[in-house]
Chain A
């Protein structure tokens, strides 16, 4: 498309629009911009609507950022600046990009994060160094400790497998028709997905920063992990936690969550999670760990439905509650009693070391939560 010579003047707006989008953190590649220009040429263009269609098709904004994209288009091609909004305020998860536009937002929220951690420091005298060491081991061991399943993909094997015809045939041909010992292949085992759902409501305030650190270690350690926070809303923070540096990742994650220390609407948010097909598909066959005290205000019917659906999808559904750190803890609230039958585990979530040990033991079979707690009470 581009031939060294200067572009026609009419092409300048397309180039400029690509640059504008990049400025706002949309991943726009040069080949997409040239595709955009080609598309506009092909379509005529007979109207601005054609240019819009061409932009949508070639610059491919993700559906979560579609509204933002439309606003930029409006402001750029129509000069209608009032349409520019900083993201949408939907209930649904929004995945913020690593663009510079979010920079000041992070600053603002960092203070809040500071408050949080100082509250933790005042209250507890735990050995932080020990926790850090725990997390490092956790990160290293996680991938091999997660429950495994057999994949459809096969790997070479020395014993216990099916005949690898492809390699065997090569051997036979190179051995001139002789049949050497057969070569084998068997199905590979791969770790299951790990899904962490973290409660960030007010009642969990003391633990959220620990939980986020744990989540960061999980994302870094596991092949396929997804992390969501929920309070009154549901937020996917996996993207932020992919950043290697822990502090930076936590700051970015903190900026994405809008419902710190608010109320809990555990049932409705979990149902919202399940009604997004791509999220509920991730839960299928995954090890799901919910970090929450499950103190659901009001009616718990929705929570019960959500947990039942989640357990039907998940390989193993566990609830880790900080309340269980108290030896006198019994699953006695109406909400807990209702969801206990569908839980595989109900464990102590009050400390990092307890949680890491638990997650590393997910592959080992254990009695159902209901049976264990029946024995205790």
Chain B
């Protein structure tokens, strides 16, 4: 794993106030509203994990990446899925190498529980270097209850017991970010151990700013029009409401089409495929699209 380039400043000197956090995040091209900045600030200063919940596509994972960048640390990501277990999250022995080593050693004494046989999974990686890494436990709602319990234990003590090696403790409090799409309710115990923030879709003004910041070269008028149109589209009962990333792509695609010679409202219509990626949603919104775009452009 590459070391971060910048020398690791202590997290507390970076997070002096919510405003300072917001500024730093903006410099890392992530626009956090006041509430999110406060939650991040509190999580860092209280030394608690940060639990971010929100609909898909509101930028939960991006927030974690930006926090890691601000702190000058590497992001260690643990993607959850149903059935994820300790061997995928904590550690695993490299059994093949152990077997080979036993054969190779012959009559000699050999410690098969040496470091070189230990495969550190994300949670252990973070424990070993808490001041160089940020742990992202992504989409925790996809994992099952057993894993949630395991995580709960990890988050309260920041230690892992390996029967053959004893207990490994973090030398400092690691920074942990959990995200959830809320496909199921998380255990109360987990919620109350964390600093909690519900990320909503941004309002049109903020979304326009995000598009300006993230997209290549999109005119401000375009960004505003895209943000306004996306707000209207999200209000419809779609199977997959467009996220922020899709809005950015739409602005980009429309700009490219416009440079290629399509006039404005037409460019938006032709680029709709990058915004709405469900055939039914597309046919649902198609009759209204012209009007929505024109209203947004006005």
Instruction: Please give the residue numbers on chain A whose beta carbons come within 8 Å of chain B beta carbons, in ascending order.
Output: 27-29, 31-32, 35, 38-39, 42-43, 50, 53-54, 56-58, 60, 62-63, 66, 151-153, 165-166, 168-169, 172-173, 177, 271-272, 274-275, 277-278, 280-282, 305, 308-309
Contact flag A275-B237 (CB < 8 Å), given A151-B83, A169-B99, A177-B102: yes
B102, chain A: closest CB distance, angstroms = 6
Task: Report yes or no: B93 in contact with A166, Cβ–Cβ below 8 A.
Answer: yes
Other A-B pairs, 13, CB within 8 Å; known A27-B192, A166-B95: A27-B188, A31-B192, A39-B46, A63-B182, A152-B83, A152-B84, A172-B99, A173-B102, A275-B237, A275-B241, A278-B181, A278-B183, A282-B184
- Check if B93 sits within 8 Å of A53, measured CB to CB: no
A277 in contact with B195 (CB, 8 Å): no
Pairwise interchain contact B83-A277, C-beta atoms closer than 8 A: no
Determine if B197 and A57 form an interchain contact, defined as CB atoms under 8 angstroms apart: yes
Are B184's CB and A56's CB within 8 A? Answer: no
Q: Is A281 in contact with B45, judged by CB distance below 8 angstroms?
A: no
Bound-state Cα–Cα, A278 to B192, Å: 21
Cross-chain contact A271 with B237 (CB below 8 angstroms):
yes
Closest A residue to B191 using CB positions:
A60
Interface pair B82/A66, CB less than 8 Å apart: no
User: When chains A and B are docked, how far (Å) is the Cα of A281 from the Cα of B53?
Assistant: 15
Partner of B34, one of A53, A151, A280, A309: A53
CA distance A53 to B197 in the complex (A): 10
Closest to A40 in B: B42
What number of B residues sit within 8 Å (CB to CB) of A?
47
A-B pairs with lowest CB-CB distance, top 10: A152-B83, A60-B196, A281-B183, A165-B95, A53-B38, A278-B183, A153-B83, A57-B39, A29-B192, A278-B182
Q: Does B27 contact A (CB under 8 A)?
A: no
Query: Chain B contacts of A272 at CB under 8 A?
Result: 237
User: Nearest-CB distance from B51 to chain A (Å)?
Assistant: 8
**Residues on B facing A (Cβ under 8 Å):** 18, 34-35, 38-39, 41-43, 45-46, 48, 51, 53, 55-56, 81-85, 93, 95-96, 98-99, 102, 112, 141, 181-185, 188, 191-198, 237-239, 241, 280
User: B41 CB to closest chain A CB, in angstroms?
Assistant: 8
In the assembly, what is the distance between CA of A309 and CA of B284, in Å? 14
The smallest beta-carbon distance between A215 and chain B, in angstroms, is 18
Q: Is the interface of B mostly helix, strand, loop or mixed?
A: mixed
**Chain A residues whose CB sits within 8 angstroms of the CB of B81 once the complex forms:** 152
Q: Considering the chains assembled together, what is the distance between the CA atoms of A330 and B228 in angstroms?
A: 49
B99: chain A residues at CB < 8 Å are 169, 172
Which of A57, A62, A281, A308 has the largest count of B CB atoms less than 10 A from its CB?
Answer: A57
Q: How far is the CB of B181 from chain A (nearest CB, A)?
A: 6
Q: Looking at the assembled complex, report how far the CB atom of A44 sits from the nearest CB atom of chain B, in whole angstroms.
A: 9
Chain A, residue nearest B95 (CB):
A165
Given contacts A53-B35, A63-B53, A66-B198, contact A275 B181 (CB under 8 A): no
A274 with B184: CB separation less than 8 A: no
Expressed in whole angstroms, the Cα–Cα distance for A277 and B54 within the complex equals 10
